A = this chain, B = another copy of it.
Amino acid sequence: MTELDFNWMAGGPQGSGVDAAANIFGRACAYGGLYVYGRREYHSNIKGLHSYFHLRVSTHEVLANVNDVDLLAAFDAETIVRHLGEVVPGGGIIVDKDQLNTNISAIPTLPLELKSTLRRYLESRGLSDRLGDLLEDAKKREINIFQVPYMDLLKQIATKLGIDKLSKIMRTINVLTLGISFGLIDYEIELVEKAIKAFFREKPKIIEMNILAMSLAYEYAKENFSEDFKFKIKSLPVREERILLSGNQAVAIGKVLGGCRFQTYYPITPAADESEYIESHEILKSKIPGENAGVVVLQTEDEISAINMASGAALTGVRASTSTSGPGFSLMVEGLSWAGNNEVPVVITYYQRGAPSTGLPTRHGQDDLRFAIHAGHGEFPRIVLASGDIRECFYDAIAAFNYAERFQLPVIHLIDKALANSFQTFPMFEIKDIKIQRGNILNEEDLRGIEYKRFAFTEGGISPRVFLGTKGGIHWYTGDEHNEFGHISEEADNRTKMMEKRMSKLETIDREISINEKINFFGNEDADNIVVSWGSPKGAIIEALNKLTSEGFNLSFLQVRMVHPIPIQHIKEILQKAERIIDVEMNYSGQLGGIIREKTGISMDFQILKYNGRPMTSTEVYNAIKLVLQGRAPKRQVLNYGS
């Protein structure tokens, strides 16, 4: 069987159902035993500005997008103008017939910057301002233009459903293009229907309308274009249990499974979805007879309150966490420092997005590694975990709580927007291997007859913990430097000892957490060329690695998952053997590279960076690494795919 690798894109204004279309598309494919990976792009806007979904379908597991679009389902003219360049020769564009006369320069939502670029492009190719003209030109690149009379089809649907106002079914343009798409690629329509039913669940009316629209379009495509399009997709028998989910969902499920019962948040993109998803499942099902389980999810007045409420809650013994992104995390910094000083096991899920400041609220970036590590005045231990894919989001969410409690410190779980809002299929989680590790906790019995000191000096820096309210364990917390009881102390010697107690945990962590939990290594141990990265570029790098290896290049990949405290010794051992080290990161300065150099003295030989707000694709990572391996790359390459 040949390997299928099909790239579909749907685009339209926010609020027109791009997301729904992509979800249904993804589900339909996944139900058919195919693997999907999908990335969502949208403006910081509620309705009207351009959004799109870039979806990849394959018979093997897919980990990232590529630069290509094989089929573009355009809800509107802007989608074509923006994405035409990505459609491959032999690929296709689904376009509304009635929009061919659209004047490009009159599209109101196109920003000035883009308009002037477009004007130059049209001039250079001697084209008019008409959309139809642009598409004619595209045909020269062997792109198929599938002109569909959206309005006619909608009218037919309306008639069939007995609806008189067209506006009521305008929202089905998305499934209409979906139907055309599936018709073109000749996929089993039953699976698409199943996906529509699953997506709209308890809304039979909407299901009916959408299935009707989809199938009408499906048939239209079969009748009118089926010969023209070379891409065809067939379902496969599924052998294993698979799930399709986003990073937001993976974190949410990991948290509750990991014992989180108290979550605070202040709304922010792209973190809020996680909290809302937990809230909508707030009542949990306990395995233990007679026990109840539920998560209290609190929307606070700001992020300052979110972190401090969570810390307060953590002192009572509950596993507590908060989720945010850059602007919110900035406000949490003072609270983080308090939690660090007081050895509070609190988890902060930090969704990175384009920054600085409000930045690109709905776009991708990995700019906050150094900030996560150094945030907060003073020096105190913390753990920073960075998940590389959606699967890791789940496992790391659980690990975060285990580490927080075992080592009694704040844990920051770094996620990039590209993971939060993308979805991917993969085999079901291995839930039975998951363990909850709560660390050293004393209860009423344990305390009998002892004088309890919350911050007792110990080997390794970890003092047994007592929850607020426990009989016999009264103690104090303070943001001031304190003695073993938790009372304020300004004594010089005590200060030195307390600093050393706290900071020595970093060594304890180094010792006690296995290296397998801290790094992933892919490829040949003895490869001359090593790619180093963290977070979401993982998928694109692995795909590039596989391809380059199959082409005979000698390459491996070190993914750092525990970015702080970073496992210096292991990284050093791995890297010092390499001839060329290639740092791949989604930020301007190559932050992880800097950290590695700081800690090991080893420099990154090459940087492949990207900071245009869009995630890396396998294509561009592959190209960039190849240039390095061929000795043709500058020391610093900046990638720029994505619109």
Contact = CB atoms under 8 A, between A and B. Distances in A.
A494 interface: yes
B379 A588 contact: yes
A375 B595 CA distance: 16
A490 to B, nearest CB: 6
Interface size class of A (residues with CB under 8 A): 35 or more
A330 B355 CA distance: 18
A496 B354 CA distance: 11
Given A355-B378, A367-B378, A495-B360, A613 B643 contact: no
A287 interface: no
A111 B371 contact: no
B496 A113 contact: no
Interface string A561-591: 0000000000000000000000000011100
A590 B503 CA distance: 13
A599 B480 CA distance: 34
A611 interface: yes
A337 B357 contact: yes
Number of identical monomers bound together in the oligomeric complex: 2
A642 interface: yes
Interface stretch (A122-130, A181-189, A338-346, A519-527): A338-346
A361 B491 contact: no
Interface string A354-381: 1111111111010110110111111110
A614 interface: yes
B363 A376 contact: no
Given A342-B357, A481-B359, A612-B492, A326 B113 contact: no
B330 A496 contact: no
Nearest to A485: B112
B377 A327 contact: yes
Contacts of A377: 325-327, 329-330, 352, 355-357, 359, 367-368, 371
B326 A496 contact: no
A248 B473 CA distance: 44
A379 B360 contact: no
Interface in A190-220: none
A643 B496 CA distance: 12
B117 A587 contact: no
Contact of A613 (B360, B375, B490, B587): B490
Contacts of A370: 370, 374
A640 interface: yes
Which of A43, A370, A371, A492: most chain B CB closer than 10 A?
Answer: A492
A101 interface: no
A597 interface: yes
Nearest to A491: B113
A496 B595 contact: no
A499 B376 contact: no
Nearest to A377: B326
Given A111-B489, A337-B357, A491-B113, A499 B379 contact: no
Interface string A52-69: 000000000000000000
> What 9 pairs between A and B have smallest CB-CB spacing?
A355-B378, A356-B378, A326-B377, A357-B479, A358-B479, A330-B334, A598-B598, A341-B357, A492-B612
8 contacts: A111-B483, A330-B334, A331-B333, A337-B356, A340-B356, A358-B480, A594-B598, A601-B601
